[in-house]
Amino acid sequence: MNKYLSRVYESVKARDKFEPEFLQAVNEVFESLSDYVDEHPEIEANAIMERIVEPERSVEFRVTWVDDNGVAHVNRGYRIQFNSAIGPYKGGLRFHPSVNKSIIKFLGFEQIFKNSLTGLSMGGGKGGSDFDPKGKSDNEIMRFCQNFMLELNRHIGENVDVPAGDIGVGGREIGYLFGAYKKYKDSYDAGVLTGKGLEYGGSLARKEATGFGLCYFVSKMLEKMANDSFKGKDVVISGSGNVALYACKKAYELGGKVIAMSDSNGYVYNPKGINFDLMRGLKEDKRARISEYAKQDKDAKYFEGSKGVWSIKCDIALPCATQNEIDLDIAKVLVANGVKAVGEGANMPCTMDATNFFIANKILYAPAKAANAGGVMVSGLEMAQNASRLSWTFEEVDNYLHKQMEAICVKVFDIASSYNDPFNSVKGANIAGFEKVAKAMIAQGIL
């Protein structure tokens, strides 16, 4: 790593030593930028790296809510406003018991570069809570969302910070959050949240956007780098939430066959192919566990333990659940089983060792901040529709998404090639995302 970068990285390590996920995300970006920073002395002269690793603002707050039995509970809420060089802070909210400051910071940091890659004007941010939505009634979810927004509303706004969904936050939660925001502010600011319902300012194709976008990226990567496609490929997808479901749908539409999917308890395997409609109905409409799927598909088998999904031989692996789900051991199994492409639907699903192993073995690798940028891209289109008080058709949004995901893919691999490292899409994505943000920060002065 370049001397300036390693000096800044050491200071982050000393200051944020209890934030392993954040350090991991920073380390990956810094490793990628070494050559670029060597070539661009203005980065150090403007203290870009010192500034980019420090959130512009970070709020942590108490969320108190009362369950259906009248018992009070306290959770911790976060909103990290990381970087506003190219637009208002933008990024999802995650509700999951594992949420802590390190996780929200890593997600917010990644979001800066992802949002830049979309080509739209959005800064980076992230938020969430350690609230566990599992097993909660609809009324409990509603009360939690209202109490979360009781504090969050002070920090967000259409031109300030625009949250959306992430793990544990989907259309239902965004609806409750939006209703509460409107009540507290007494103002219909449609563009303050994205992922809204279609009846009140949501965009067609936002629900599908991350999974579809991932497949558009992987499809282009297969074509550009190997003159290949999804046709006839066995696909394994981890997770069965929003991103995983629509990656599954699009993988089929592009000619692939999805043979396994998972949740945090286990996975289902059907060598003849997972039935998308059955899976979607169970997971999206009924919020069922994935074990239910195997009871309704006679060709499918359920296995306990989510990691086992990666032991299934496949051509294309799409991790769409959570961070660090693929470590070096799993990466070795995937490569030994002949995987051709890995596309990250989740944020940072591969450890650094796993990522480096894929790239060293010339596996086509689609890094999260590029490959899953379709979700926030369509969030950006939702903001544009809200600002113009118009709504676009599904085809208009989907065509834009398709074209732009392909453009990101080409850019990422072209940059990697320009550094004589054609399979290093991580370097390509980080340089492509960083460049615009750094230039904007320099143009706006040292603040």
Q: Which residues are catalytic?
A: 126
Question: Which listed option, ligand NDP, ligand 2IT, none, makes contact with residue 194 (CB within 5 to 8 Å by class)?
Answer: ligand 2IT
Residues in the chain: 447
- What is the 8-class DSSP label of residue 192? G
Question: Whose CB is nearest to ligand 2IT?
Answer: 92
Question: Which listed option, ligand NDP, ligand 2IT, none, makes contact with residue 140 (CB within 5 to 8 Å by class)?
Answer: none
CA distances from 240 to 104, 178, 447 (A): 22, 25, 42
Question: Which listed option, ligand NDP, ligand 2IT, none, makes contact with residue 266 (CB within 5 to 8 Å by class)?
Answer: none
**Nearest CB to ligand 2IT, comparing residues 143 and 206:** 206
CB of 396 to ligand 2IT, least distance (A): 18
Separation of alpha carbons 397 and 388, rounded Å = 15
**Nearest CB to ligand 2IT, comparing residues 126 and 250:** 126
Using alpha carbons, select from 48, 18, 15 the residue that is nearest to residue 33.
48
CB of 382 to ligand NDP, least distance (A): 11
Using alpha carbons, select from 210, 169, 195 the residue that is nearest to residue 373.
210
**Nearest CB to ligand 2IT, comparing residues 306 and 379:** 379
Asked if 234 and 314 touch (Cβ cutoff 8 Å), the reply is yes
Q: Write out the two tokens for 422.
A: 């054609």
Q: Cα 42 from chain centroid?
A: 30
Separation of alpha carbons 181 and 158, rounded Å = 12
**Nearest CB to ligand 2IT, comparing residues 89 and 176:** 89
Q: Write out the two tokens for 279.
A: 């899976």
Asked if 381 and 162 touch (Cβ cutoff 8 Å), the reply is no
Using alpha carbons, select from 197, 303, 308, 320 the residue that is nearest to residue 248.
320
CB of 373 to ligand 2IT, least distance (A): 7
Residues in the site for ligand NDP, rule: CB under 6 A? 165-168, 170, 210, 239-244, 263-265, 306, 320-322, 345-347, 372, 375
Residues in the site for ligand 2IT, rule: CB under 6 A? 90-92, 114, 164, 166, 194, 347, 375-376, 379
Separation of alpha carbons 432 and 77, rounded Å = 32
CB atoms within 10 A of CB 57: 13
Using alpha carbons, select from 375, 374, 350 the residue that is nearest to residue 425.
350
CB of 322 to ligand NDP, least distance (A): 4
**Nearest CB to ligand 2IT, comparing residues 91 and 202:** 91
CB of 195 to ligand 2IT, least distance (A): 6
CB atoms within 10 A of CB 447: 7
CB of 320 to ligand NDP, least distance (A): 6
**Nearest CB to ligand NDP, comparing residues 4 and 303:** 303
Question: Which listed option, ligand 2IT, ligand NDP, none, makes contact with residue 306 (CB within 5 to 8 Å by class)?
Answer: ligand NDP
Q: Given CA atoms 200, 201, 202, 203 in this order, what sign does their dihedral have? A: positive
CB of 261 to ligand NDP, least distance (A): 8
Helix (H) or strand (E) holding 83: strand 72-83
Strands 57-66 vs 72-83: parallel, antiparallel or unpaired: antiparallel
**Nearest CB to ligand NDP, comparing residues 153 and 264:** 264
